[in-house]
Chains A and B, each alone.
Chain A
Amino acid sequence: MTDASLNSSAPTAAHISDGGFSDFFALLKPRVMTLVVFTAFVGLYAAPGGIHPLVGAIAILFIALGGGASGALNMWWDADIDRIMKRTRKRPIPAGRVTEGEAFGFGITLSAIAVTMLWLATNWVAAAILAFTIFFYVVIYSMWLKRWTPQNIVIGGAAGAFPPMIGWAAVTGGVSVESVLMFAIIFMWTPPHFWALALFMRSDYDDAGVPMLTVTHGRKSTRLHIIVYTLLLAALAVGIGFTSVGGPIYLAVSITLNAMFIKGAWQIWRRTEDDAEADNYKVEKSVFKLSLYYLFALFGAIALEAGLAPFGLGGW
């Protein structure tokens, strides 16, 4: 084949749009990754024993990369509904900047690198939990639960809850009550967080046919679910304050934040759809925003307790 023939058959820039580095980076869901990085760091930092700072940083890097890889695989699988939903229409695949095949290859390759490197850097337990997290998010949540059951968010939330357990396992080489409780906080936090979002992003999930609770059980039932899950979350989040990763600072932060979260969830429950439409879902939006700060502050308090412990200040 000559250069001329090769070039004549090649597609031109006019009808093909190659994804740049930023598009591939966007496949990793960087905003979700910040949560993964932060909670994994807290799990790693709060764990008993120590880890070399460089190994710890490398562990967090590959936990984040594994989380990002699962995000890319999620975008590959959900490309069809991402094209429908307003919130996701500008993602690299629906926008035509990255092909589905590229996203799949990218996600699989990064998953393998992340798991292998985490194993080499730390231990097999941490790597196995990371591998399971990717599997859970892609296969159990994206492929199976998301389009099948309104409990998709409840069970699927586990995928986002594993990072502190992985961080903990990277140091200790195992699983303990504390790491399971940190997992449980994120697991219980996810449903009210997402349902608040689903309430004000109403048409998106309806249009895509995703069986969100708002679609299958109605908005009134979703409001009830939010308050119930928030109460369960509060009990758990305050309870962890009495374990070895908690302490007076965590307890004070936890009680304050949970009181605010319960107040917001209570307001959501008491409102009717007409009330919400009248003020453009003001309360739902503020609770969603609060839920983001809530998780960061709660895990920040756990990190603070661990950081103060060497000075005899943190913990009980």
Chain B
Amino acid sequence: MGLAREHELHKRRFSRNLGLGLALVGLVAVVFGLTVVKVSTEEFTEPLSTVPFTGADAEQ
């Protein structure tokens, strides 16, 4: 049997857990936003391994 759901520990640490949860959600949003910006810039180059191989490449 796990800890009782309404254990006083949960009440005691509610604000800490809520804050941590929101901070983690914020971090995910930041990383997502950063990724979108990075891949949208002209400097971004796709790694060669992800570029599909075409017949034209073989003829060169």
Chain A residues engaging chain B, CB cutoff 8 angstroms: 2-3, 6-7, 10, 12-13, 18-22, 24-25, 52, 54-55, 58, 61, 113, 117, 120-121
User: From DSSP, what is the main secondary structure of chain A's interface residues?
Assistant: helix
**In the complex, what's the smallest C-beta–C-beta distance from B30 to chain A, in angstroms?**
6
The answer to whether B34 and A18 have CB atoms under 8 Å apart is: no
Nearest-neighbour CB distance to chain B for A264, whole angstroms, equals 40
B34 in contact with A121 (CB, 8 Å): yes
Interchain CB contact under 8 A, B8 and A21: no
Q: Is the CB of A120 within 8 A of B19?
A: no
> A18–B1 contact, CB under 8 A?
no
CB neighbours (8 Å) of A55 from chain B are 34, 37
Number of residue pairs A-B, CB distance < 8 angstroms:
44
Complex Cα–Cα for A212 and B22 (A): 40
Q: Indicate if the CB atoms of A54 and B34 lie closer than 8 Å.
A: yes
Question: A54 with B8: in contact, given A18-B13, A19-B16, A21-B15 (CB under 8 Å)?
Answer: no
B4 → chain A closest CB, angstroms: 7
Distance from A27 Cβ to chain B, minimum over Cβ atoms (Å):
12
Give the distance in Å from the alpha carbon of A21 to the alpha carbon of B20 in the complex: 8
A10 CB contacts on chain B under 8 angstroms: 9
Interface flag for B18 (CB, 8 Å): yes
Instruction: Report chain A residues within 8 Å CB of B16.
Output: 18-21, 24
What B residues does A113 contact at CB under 8 A?
Answer: 27
CB distance from A247 to the nearest CB of B (A): 31
Q: Report the Cα distance A7→B8, complex, angstroms.
A: 10
**CB of B52 within 8 Å of the partner chain:** no
Separation of A234 and B40 alpha carbons in the complex (Å): 45
How far apart are A44's CB and chain B's nearest CB, in angstroms?
15
Give me the 7 closest cross-chain CB pairs, A-B, nearest first: A21-B19, A20-B15, A21-B15, A18-B12, A3-B1, A52-B37, A54-B37
Complex contacts, B34 vs chain A, CB 8 Å:
54-55, 58, 120-121
Report how far A20 CA is from B20 CA in the complex, Å: 10
Bound-complex Cα distance A60 to B27 (A): 14
